[in-house]
Amino acid sequence: MRRRSPAIAAAVLAFAAGPALAKKAPDWVVRAGATKIAPELTAGKPAPDALVLWRQQIVTAGGATGSTRLYRREAIKILTPAGTEAGTFFSDYDDDSKVVVEGAWTVKPDGDSEELDLKSVVSVQQAHAEFFTDNYVVAFRPPRLSPGDIAAHALWRKARKDVYQWIVPLQDALPVAAQEVAFDLPDGWTHAWRLTSAPDGYTGPLSGEGASKASYLFPAQRAMPEEAASPPASDRFARMELVILPPAGKFPELVYKSWKDVGAWFYRKSLPARSEAAADLVPASSGDPAAASARWTQDKVRYVAVEVGEGGYVPREPALVARRLYGDCKDKVFLMMALLRQKKIEALPVLTRSRDDGMIDPAFPSPVQFNHVIVAVRAASPTGLPSEVLLPDGPWILFDPTSAWTPWGQLPEGLQGARGLVVRADGSELIDFPYASSDVNRYVRTVDAELAPDGRLTARIVNASEGSQSQRGWYQNQTPEERKESALRFAEGWVPGSRATDLALGNLDDASKPLDARFTVTSDGYLRKSGSLLVLPVLPFAVGPGRIPRLEDRRVPIDLGCPRKRELTVKWTLPAGMKVDAVPDAVSADNAYIAYRFSAAIENGQLVATETYEIKKPVIPPSDLAVWKTVEAASAKASGARAVLAR
Amino acid sequence: MCRADATRSRLIRLGRRAAAFAGALALSAPLFAAKWKDPSPAEKAIVEDPAKGWVGAVYLEKTFQSENQMWRVTVRAKILSKSGFDVGTVEGIATNAQGVEGRTVSPSGKVTELASKDIRKVTAVKAGGRSVEHLVFTMPALEPGCFVEYTYKEWGWLGSASDFHVEVLFQDNYPILRQEVTTPKRFPFSSSIRRQRGVTIAFREEGSGYVYESTDAPALHEEPYGLPKNERAAAVIFAYVIPGIQSASSESFWADATKKGLAPILQEYLVKPSKVEKALKSIPGSRTADPKARLKAIYDYSQKTVKNRWALRAGETEPKGGWKKNEDAADTLSHGQGSPWDIATVCASLLRADGWKFRVVFTPDREERFFHPEIPSMFQFGGWVIEVKDPGLDGPVYLCFDHPLMAYGQMPWNRLGVASYAIDLEAETGEQVEIPQLPPEKNTRRRQWAVTLAEDGNVRVDRVSRLDGAQAFDARIDLYGNGKDSFEKRLRETYEKFDPPGEVESVAFQNEESPEENFVQTTKFRRNGLGATLPGGRLELAPLTMIGETNPFTQEKRDEPIIFPYPYLNEDTLTITAPEGYVPDALPPPIEQRGIVGRYGVRAARGEGNSVVVTRILALTRFSGSPEFYAEYRKLFEAAARGDAGLSIVFQPAAGAAKASAAR
């Protein structure tokens, strides 16, 4: 499926600022300059670098052609030197869609204005040999922007021909002072709309319908910048989902009233790929034939995407994919389905999108919500596997053959808790994907730490990881030398000035077992000596949570991914003649979302420190941020925990 | 870092002019009929072997042949594991390339051809009605143990990237077991060989051509503080032979290039004394008898009178209607704006009018490449500076115009410490020179920290930092180019990410635009929870974790030389005041690591009242060294990282101290 804009745009910006033509800015830009700015819009911490004075988005449709356009006018006030970046527009389009820039202007504080020479609008194809797509990034910046100026542009976009819907964000990483969303459709047409959440100051209904002409004005919106552990932009911003409704009988193929309609669209698109593959691809295996086919597709078919025109949505024939041994997600899925068909196992494609790209809105049936395909494989009976879902006709196992090392029966982290559309010839349905439990997404670190009389540390570390915590893919993407270097960097990161040796990886190629990474870290002078006092930081290589800054101003949930558990046990062996004089106090924090625990004790004559960090519910709403603060405080105390030793 | 590409672009103009005299194009070459080579038994036996550096993939053979103004490329490689699949990904081929073909041979011998429909055209940039496009493809049916082969022909003596200076690399991301480059004897390029890491490029005549061949070239990989990318690989460097400039030997080339190329092109930009006489007389201080003051006055005038269009202040834009084109120094003076090249020509014209003897020094941009006098190519420089020697001055003075905040006599680090080329414009002669780095004592950062520790472990810091030399210049150009607000915002964000997080209360600067003075930054911040409570009621603080030196040299072995931007000396003095009712416990022993590349030292002593004073020095005395010095660099930075993390100052309740001392 299509992927949206990797940030190639940045690379073209250097070219995007072009020469100016001395022309007057349109009236709407001049009017935008007079927009009243509510003080709270610029009061954020940190203060915004720019502010959207006016944004207007107008949806149109051609009565005869059915093609739809989204016109956009935007005027941005540049507040700081860094804010000139906000005046740079970039967007993507492909062979099937279009972006046409009508103009861009800079208005100086004295009212003088300049127009961008449109020859300097730059576009770059987002393609290389392994990700070949007809997507282009278009970029431009109004001329000679500096603080105090207004940067404005007017453009329109044409939608892909299969889609008669638009999603427009009402919030932004910048504050928005005023905005309008409007429909300008042919007479006799109607529209529907829906808000994914209420934007600031909006108290009206969250959905509605209207006639061919309509205007929706929204009050000022505070900035919603990206923060640590924040949900993706599409979940962070309130959005308006727009549906164009032609008169009855006109362009019926462009109207999606239900998820069944969307499923039927993809079913039609995928018909050519529902053909056979060579019969001898997957070697006979004594194991589960579904798991063997899954592993073969994961392992043998390289991810290489060629997404041009229909190639963005239409999977290729399995025989071609098997010959090339490369393909994108949908190619892999349809090849795997062909392999399973040979074994009389039923499988269905499942359209989806990673949580990292935002959750699919179940109330807005539309192909635009998907950018990925996985497969559902029928199970004869319940299996108890983490990725099993119960559909009306029984249990099915979800599997993503594009994720190279996710074991059969599990989902990669970004798909756990996501949604997907199970596509059938009829009766497609949107389902919730399960999260694996924290016992599956697990990371266990054990450290045998030995202290020499001179304070030198020798720590033998074993990291066992599985589920979403698995380090298998990470190690598999490295050469042996790089793996050694990453162990060295790990050691340096946790114990500055240390070294790591003897890296050994267990179960590296066996995705069904936890990955074991073992190595030894040594460091001179780990034991801190202050006069006769010997101070031992008891928790090297901690597994607790990192800090999240600016919690006081936070307006969005904390998104911690999926349920998982991280455990650490450090067993200290002290040199002869050295004993523990005092151990640090235990700390813990336990709530509905997270359980955190640290303790240190003498067990069988040995100092043992343990730390456990479990995410039970991964999304903490802004109303419950206090619970995170208690966890952070406990973890901070633990990471500073010291034992006092004596000779 | 500021860049100085003006020289290269001007030289390219010179080259283009000369290229107009080059001969007519030869007839198109016949298409290359691909003849694949089946894997030999020895090639079939190759498996992944980290000890030999065979990891991921190996290039079995790379051949490049220049013939009739076409450049034929043939590559054969073996994929050893999945991490080597990228050898089957080929990009950047000219869209008018001919005979693009390829095939994959599986370990069992099954052949899968590269289909022509799988060769795709990518639009790199589309703007102003023009497109830059190239071809890409990925080989089919890749699996560990397979062989890939592909070939294509591009127009140009050295392919589509043919320029006046082309480097054909003999090393890549994977080992190359054999590489061969063949050129005709009648060829408009001179060639030079750059050896690297023991790679031998053998040269021989063969029929009507020259052949360059190497075997068993190891893979390249990035290392921290390594050489610039253009210096890392063994290469054959082809330099376009400009008609009229001899290139039989490097000596004759530089003599000729100076006389016929470099000196004349510079002279074109300088103006007669009469044209700048009036300006010269108007410069305050330029008529004094003190040579140093007089020279500085001319330098300051050039820097301040002409707006440097390559170094704009935060938020500044080009003027309405764009920059004006400067044909010579008089134009630059009258327009009041120009590039560093233009400003230098103004200063050189003024110096000449004032009777100074000076040389022009062409310097490489060390971030991009070094200057190798043995290579007969003028396209090795990143800019030029003026060298003034006069009995009235304390040694040679270098005048550089890369940035308006460049101090008199100061140079950016990327032009220092490597070979350069100095030209006497009048005599039209030149010689290799090296402008030395400043010693560490002249690139210093000295910081005074007033650290107040509270009973709850919270820490408040007032810090005054004084920077000079390159460290001050780096800070100044950051403030100038990004603005104070942006600087402060980044600082706050950086502190927020510390563990425990820091909160910046205020930042202030002094002398940020007075390059002759120390740059001073005063920062006040808090680090809550930095101190720890120990069992028994003591307080512990590891104060140097606030400096947090990291060791960049974690790798076990080093293949390439180490090169830092510049040598430096960092001194930190931390005065730590304990909370009321606490006194320092016994202090940690000093740390001293002294070696041939630098020094790290920490000392803690009791200060006034209940305070402790920690002094720390980190000096990098040797800014570059061969791989043999790696252990020394590693030892230095390991000691610094360990020392900063491990130094612990403990305070105990005063009453406890009294009891303890009574007990003794």
pLDDT band at B200 (very low <50, low <70, confident <90, very high): very high
- B125-184 tens-digit pLDDT: 888 888 999 999 999 999 999 999 999 999 999 998 778 899 999 999 999 999 999 999
**Are B140 and A323 inside 8 Å of each other by CB?**
yes
Average confidence (pLDDT) over B247-259: 90
CA separation for the pair A296, A62 (Å, rounded): 48
CA separation for the pair A123, B207 (Å, rounded): 48
Identity at B457, one-letter amino acid code: G
A121 — contact with chain B (CB < 8 Å)? yes
- pLDDT at residue B13 is higher than 70: no
**Are A636 and B551 inside 8 Å of each other by CB?**
no
- pLDDT at residue A357 is higher than 60: yes
- pLDDT at residue B209 is higher than 90: yes
- pLDDT at residue A164 is higher than 90: no
Q: Note which residues in 21-50 of chain A have CB less than 8 A from chain B.
A: 22, 46
**Are A146 and B318 inside 8 Å of each other by CB?**
no
Under 8 Å CB pairs connecting chains A and B tally to 212
Average confidence (pLDDT) over A346-358: 97
**Are A144 and B318 inside 8 Å of each other by CB?**
yes
pLDDT band at A491 (very low <50, low <70, confident <90, very high): very high
pLDDT band at A5 (very low <50, low <70, confident <90, very high): very low
- pLDDT at residue B30 is higher than 70: no
Identity at B141, one-letter amino acid code: A
pLDDT band at A280 (very low <50, low <70, confident <90, very high): confident
More confident residue, B395 or B230: B395
Closest approach of B204 to chain A, Cα-based (Å): 36
Average confidence (pLDDT) over A309-316: 81
pLDDT band at B17 (very low <50, low <70, confident <90, very high): very low
Query: A123 to chain B: which residues are within 8 Å by CB?
Result: 123, 125-127
Average confidence (pLDDT) over B457-467: 97
Residue B657: the pLDDT is 52
- A451-478 tens-digit pLDDT: 999 999 999 999 999 999 999 999 999 9
Residue A14: the pLDDT is 43
CA separation for the pair B455, B581 (Å, rounded): 9
Alpha-helical regions (H) of B428-502 = 469-482, 484-496
The interface predicted TM-score (ipTM) is 0.89
Q: Note which residues in 562-621 of chain A have CB less than 8 A from chain B.
A: 581-584
Average confidence (pLDDT) over B183-211: 92
CA separation for the pair A7, A91 (Å, rounded): 10
- pLDDT at residue B227 is higher than 80: yes
Residue A139 · residue A89 · CB < 8 Å: yes
**Are B124 and A526 inside 8 Å of each other by CB?**
no
Residue in chain A lying closest to B549 (CA): A496
Residue A162: the pLDDT is 66
Residue of A82, A136, A533 lying closest to B486 (CB–CB):
A82
Residue B126 · residue A122 · CB < 8 Å: yes
∠ CA A476-A482-A484, nearest 5°, is 100
Closest approach of B426 to chain A, Cα-based (Å): 40
Query: A122 to chain B: which residues are within 8 Å by CB?
Result: 125-127
- pLDDT at residue A66 is higher than 50: yes
Residue B198: the pLDDT is 78
Query: Per residue, what are the HEC states of A117-181?
Result: CHHHCEEEECCECCEEECCEEEEEECCCCCCCCEEEEEEEEECCCCCCEEEEECCCCCCECCEEE
Burial of B437 (0-12, 13-18, 19+ CB in 10 A): buried
Closest approach of A120 to chain B, Cα-based (Å): 6
Tell me how far CA of residue A399 lies from CA of A325, A336, A387, A414, A434, in angstroms.
Answer: 19, 10, 7, 13, 12
Q: Note which residues in 219-238 of chain A have CB less than 8 A from chain B.
A: none
Closest approach of B277 to chain A, Cα-based (Å): 36
Q: Note which residues in 308-347 of chain A have CB less than 8 A from chain B.
A: 323-326
- B289-312 tens-digit pLDDT: 899 999 999 999 999 999 999 999
- pLDDT at residue B660 is higher than 60: no
CA separation for the pair A578, B120 (Å, rounded): 69
A109 — contact with chain B (CB < 8 Å)? no
CA separation for the pair A637, A631 (Å, rounded): 10
CA separation for the pair A411, A428 (Å, rounded): 21
Residue B89: the pLDDT is 94
Among candidate residues A293, A285, A283, the one with its CA nearest the CA of residue A397: A293
Query: Per residue, what are the HEC states of B467-479?
Result: ECHHHHHHHHHHH
Lowest average pLDDT, out of A509-513, A596-600, B229-233, goes to: B229-233
What pTM did the predictor assign?
A: 0.90
Lowest average pLDDT, out of A285-289, A600-604, B562-566, goes to: A285-289
**Are B588 and A528 inside 8 Å of each other by CB?**
yes
Identity at B213, one-letter amino acid code: E
Residues in Cβ contact with B88 at an 8 Å cutoff, skipping those fewer than 6 apart: B77, B79, B104, B138, B139, B142, B148
CA separation for the pair A327, A131 (Å, rounded): 10
Residue B656: the pLDDT is 53
Residue A371 · residue A1 · CB < 8 Å: yes
- pLDDT at residue A439 is higher than 80: yes
Among candidate residues A175, A7, A156, A199, the one with its CA nearest the CA of residue A83: A175
Give me the percent of chain B exceeding a pLDDT of 90.
Answer: 82
Give me the percent of chain A exceeding a pLDDT of 90.
Answer: 80
Residue in chain B lying closest to A118 (CA): B128
Q: Which secondary-structure segment (H or E) carries B256?
A: helix B250-257
- B561-597 tens-digit pLDDT: 999 999 999 999 999 999 999 999 989 999 999 999 9
pLDDT band at A178 (very low <50, low <70, confident <90, very high): very high
More confident residue, A159 or A382: A382
Average confidence (pLDDT) over B599-627: 96
Residue B553 · residue B226 · CB < 8 Å: no
**Residue A285 CB: number of other CB atoms within 10 A?**
12
Residue in chain B lying closest to A113 (CA): B320
Residue B219 · residue B172 · CB < 8 Å: yes
Query: B110 to chain A: which residues are within 8 Å by CB?
Result: none
- pLDDT at residue B11 is higher than 60: no
| Pairing mode of beta strands A179-184, A50-61 | parallel
DSSP B291-344: HHHHHHHHHHHHHHHSEETTSPPTT--PPTT-PPP-SSHHHHHHHTEE-HHHHH
Residue of B126, B489, B540 lying closest to A46 (CB–CB):
B489
Q: Note which residues in 130-149 of chain A have CB less than 8 A from chain B.
A: 130, 132, 136, 143-147
- pLDDT at residue A535 is higher than 90: yes
Average confidence (pLDDT) over B103-119: 95
Residue of B138, B538, B585 lying closest to A129 (CB–CB):
B138
A535 — contact with chain B (CB < 8 Å)? yes
Residue B85: the pLDDT is 95
Residue A159: the pLDDT is 81
Burial of B373 (0-12, 13-18, 19+ CB in 10 A): middle
Query: B536 to chain A: which residues are within 8 Å by CB?
Result: 581-582, 644
| Pairing mode of beta strands A239-245, A190-195 | antiparallel
Residue of A121, A122, A528 lying closest to B646 (CB–CB):
A528
Residue in chain B lying closest to A583 (CA): B535
More confident residue, A161 or A328: A328
CB hemisphere CA count around A338 (13 angstroms): 28
- pLDDT at residue B32 is higher than 70: no
**Are B554 and A549 inside 8 Å of each other by CB?**
no
Residue in chain B lying closest to A138 (CA): B126
Tell me how far CA of residue A472 lies from CA of A258, A399, A425, A475, B423, in angstroms.
Answer: 40, 17, 37, 5, 58
A522 — contact with chain B (CB < 8 Å)? no
Average confidence (pLDDT) over B458-487: 97
More confident residue, A127 or A324: A324
**Are A82 and B500 inside 8 Å of each other by CB?**
no
Average confidence (pLDDT) over A390-409: 97
pLDDT band at A644 (very low <50, low <70, confident <90, very high): very high
Q: Return the structure tokens found at A437.
A: 């439990």
3-state secondary structure of A320: helix
Q: Return the structure tokens found at B195.
A: 């050896």
Residue of B55, B316, B586 lying closest to A530 (CB–CB):
B586
pLDDT band at A20 (very low <50, low <70, confident <90, very high): low
Closest approach of B478 to chain A, Cα-based (Å): 13
Residue A135: the pLDDT is 85
Identity at B356, one-letter amino acid code: W
**Rounded to 5 degrees, what are φ and ψ at A431?**
-125, 160
pLDDT band at A212 (very low <50, low <70, confident <90, very high): very high
Mean pLDDT score of chain A: 92
**Are B129 and A495 inside 8 Å of each other by CB?**
no
Average confidence (pLDDT) over A14-43: 79
∠ CA A160-A162-A165, nearest 5°, is 75
- pLDDT at residue A614 is higher than 50: yes
Q: Which secondary-structure segment (H or E) carries B420?
A: strand B419-424
Burial of A283 (0-12, 13-18, 19+ CB in 10 A): exposed
**Are A525 and B646 inside 8 Å of each other by CB?**
yes
